[in-house]
Chain A
Amino acid sequence: MGLPKDVGHEVQEGVGQAYYWTSGAGETEQTCATDRAGYSSGKVIVEWNAQAVTDKKKLTLTIQRYQSADNSNWDAAEVLQAATDVFTAATPVLAATGRYVFNQNFDGVKRYVRYGVTGVLNKGSVDTASYSLAILLGGSATLPTT
């Protein structure tokens, strides 16, 4: 079977997020919710950037998914990526970037999904980092109307 030439063919971006913080402030989970009605699968892309990290200190990321039938009452978190030290600074390398891609099969998953990222820098108040998360929905058997 030939594939569509257009990547946009029945592929839809959901609601994602971007976030920047300085260690010691705002290191809380940031979440974004998407209505996946009509879509049977997704790709969740997380880009991270340890922008300035003190020698021997690290950036840790945790990524979770929540689901809800009504966009109001959310189930307990499911861990996509347990707390992982994605970067540890070692002079002279005090910055780094990377990413995760999660393929999501929505069989048995409720209509609303929400993804959360928690980034932690284990340095007092001077290190900085950022991350962003995007959701690409696809696999609709017919073009969703919602």
Chain B
Amino acid sequence: MATPKDVGHGLQCVPGLTNGWIAGGANEIEKTSAVIDRAGYSSAKVIVEWNAQAVTDKKKLTIVVKRYQSSDNSAWDAGTVILTSDVFTAANPTLAGAGHSVVNENFDGITRYVKYSVTGTLNQGNTDTASYGLMIVLGGAATEPTTL
């Protein structure tokens, strides 16, 4: 079967988030996306771009991604960890690194509303810096959804 030439065909980008922080700072906490109404979409790609911008030798950057779900956009479950990884450990002379992690989401059995969070942690006191971005692309609509 020929596939559509247009990547946008049947795909929908929904709001994600981005965050940067200094180790131990106020932004080293869980950050959560807006609520996503996935009605009509059966799967998604959750993309996390990360950048360990300045890390002390032997220290690391850890990324944890969670998915929350709700059937009514009001009562949310406790969240499910869909990714946890020490994405970078500094080793002199390599004190910075960047990359991305991707989680393919199958929405079979998942309720209508979802949201995603990222927690980035630098295990160095107060000098290291890092950033990440979370992007979510919905797809797999059997017919063009009317609710989004």
Minimal beta-carbon separation of B139 from chain A (angstroms):
3
Q: What 1/0 flags go to A1-36 for Cβ under 8 Å of B?
A: 111111111110101111111000000000000000
Q: Are A18 and B50 in contact (CB under 8 A)?
A: yes
Q: How many A-B contacts if CB must be within 8 Å?
A: 167
- Chain A residues with CB under 8 A of B11: 7, 11, 43, 136, 138
Q: Which of A6, A7, A130 contacts B19 (CB 8 A)?
A: A130
Q: Interface residues of A, CB < 8 Å — how many?
A: 48
Chain B interface size, under 10 / 10 to 19 / 20 to 34 / 35 or more: 35 or more
- Chain A residues with CB under 8 A of B19: 20, 49, 51, 130
Question: Assuming A13-B102, A139-B4, is B51 touching A2 (CB within 8 A)?
Answer: no
Task: List residues of chain B with CB under 8 Å of any chain A CB.
Answer: 1-11, 13, 15-21, 27, 41-45, 47, 49-51, 53, 98, 100, 102, 104-106, 129-135, 137-142
Query: What are 18 A-B contacts with C-beta separation under 8 Å?
Result: A3-B9, A5-B43, A7-B45, A7-B104, A8-B43, A10-B3, A11-B11, A11-B137, A13-B102, A16-B47, A18-B49, A43-B11, A47-B16, A101-B13, A128-B20, A130-B131, A132-B131, A134-B47
